[in-house]
Amino acid sequence: MIEKRLTLYYSIIITIFLIPFMAPNAAAAGADAELHNVDITASPSSQGVGGEIMVDAAVYIFGGCCYHLYAFEVTANISAPEGISVLTGPAPEEYGEVDAQPGGVATIVHFEWTVVGNVKGLFNLTVAVSTKNCGSVEGSVAIEIVEGCSISPPEIYPEEPNVDRDTIISVTALHPLEGRTVESVMVFYVSEENVGDGTPQNGTLIMPDGRKIMGVAVDMERDAFLNDVWTGKIDTRYRATLYYWFVASDSNGDNTTSSLYEMEVIDQGALNAAVGGLFWGMVIAIIIGCLLIFVIQEKLLQKKEQGIGIIDETEEEVGDTKGGKWQVAAALALLVISAIIVVAGFVFGMFSEIVDLVMG
């Protein structure tokens, strides 16, 4: 009987160790990899007419938890709307066999194309990925074709603009056509509310109702080392929501206007003062709470001492019950007082900061 148990025990151990070696055979017998998704990127996403855009399709394929799976004849095709021409791609044309690694981590393969925009506008590029044994997936990416210069989305510092300092803005501006260069870049901004649906045109923001808002102009400077990077500063001394855009002029005298962007300028000092008021309010509430608990306990002890030898056990229990009710009432009172003090501290912190801003 013992020998049979040992034999069964060793058989189980050997089987566990052989599972990783047997699993690939099971995969080869018909298990397929999982074609999960395709992620499409375009660089740059905004380009001038005639400028090249590199499109990359990253295909994510998953294997088994502890064994290899395979995807066969992986291909990709790009669909470009009218106005967009595909110059090269896909590269490569096909992956004959993709070994999807085990462990829950995706195996990624890439396809690349080069496209060019012939007319200005917003376009969607769609990439369809298909396989022999794992099905198919699709993905898309939006690109913008502009006339004249190409202006990248801005980078701002600090990432959360604050009233304590100016905000630095940088963009990359270039001209896609050979022999044409960017000569100057300006940033325009307005601080009016509810103008996010406006359309920038040179230095003016045109609203849907026909109203025109002139932007505050700031000259940007070319980076000393990166010829296509331009940097400028926006005055953010006041808490507000700003809307801004860029205008680039090329060597031929043509202007290009970027999209409209939004910037929320916060007042970190007021927030810090509010947090400080909240903190000190909590400290005061804790101190008062400790004092109340101390006073209540002293009163209960005095009543108990006065009643020694006079009240029996039944009356002691009644006294304890009354003391418990007093403790509950004291706790509720402490809660109300704490809430009042916290709110007062918060309001005081905000008020003191506003006074400092006005007086300063």
Give Cα separations from 84 to 48, 58, 91, 143 (angstroms): 12, 21, 18, 10
**Domain 150-265 carries which CATH code?**
2.60.40.10
Residues 56/110, Cβ–Cβ less than 8 Å: yes
49: which 2 tokens?
């007419």
- Nearest CA to 277 out of 356, 355, 343, 359 is that of 343
Torsion of CA 160, 161, 166, 167, to 10 degrees: 60
Residues 277/348, Cβ–Cβ less than 8 Å: yes
For residues 269 and 135, what is the distance between their CA atoms, to the nearest angstrom?
Answer: 56
- Domain locations along the chain: 1-25, 31-146, 150-265, 269-359
For residues 231 and 223, what is the distance between their CA atoms, to the nearest angstrom?
Answer: 7
Give the global pTM.
0.46
For residues 98 and 59, what is the distance between their CA atoms, to the nearest angstrom?
Answer: 11
* CA dihedral sign, ordered 233, 235, 240, 245: negative
For residues 333 and 234, what is the distance between their CA atoms, to the nearest angstrom?
Answer: 51
Q: Are strands 52-62 and 34-43 parallel, antiparallel or unpaired?
A: antiparallel
pLDDT in tens, 270-315: 555 555 666 666 667 677 767 766 666 667 677 666 665 444 444 4
- Nearest CA to 35 out of 57, 61, 66 is that of 61
Residues 237/221, Cβ–Cβ less than 8 Å: no
Q: Which CATH number fits domain 31-146: 3.30.470.10, 3.30.70.100, 3.40.50.150, 2.60.40.10?
A: 2.60.40.10
Residues 39/58, Cβ–Cβ less than 8 Å: yes
Per-residue confidence in pLDDT tens, the chain, 360 aa: 545 444 544 455 555 444 444 444 444 444 788 899 999 999 877 777 777 889 999 999 998 887 788 999 999 999 999 999 999 999 999 999 999 988 878 999 999 999 999 888 889 999 999 999 999 999 999 998 877 788 888 998 888 887 777 889 999 988 877 778 899 999 999 988 778 888 888 899 999 888 999 999 999 999 988 889 999 998 877 777 889 999 999 888 888 888 889 888 876 555 555 556 666 666 676 777 677 666 666 676 776 666 654 444 444 444 454 555 555 566 666 666 666 665 665 555 555 544 444 444
- Nearest CA to 188 out of 152, 235, 224 is that of 235
264: which 2 tokens?
């929320």
**Residue 30 dihedral angles phi and psi, to the nearest 5°:** 150, -10
* Intrachain domains 31-146 and 150-265 with the same fold: yes
pLDDT in tens, 13-29: 555 444 444 444 444 44
17: which 2 tokens?
């160790």
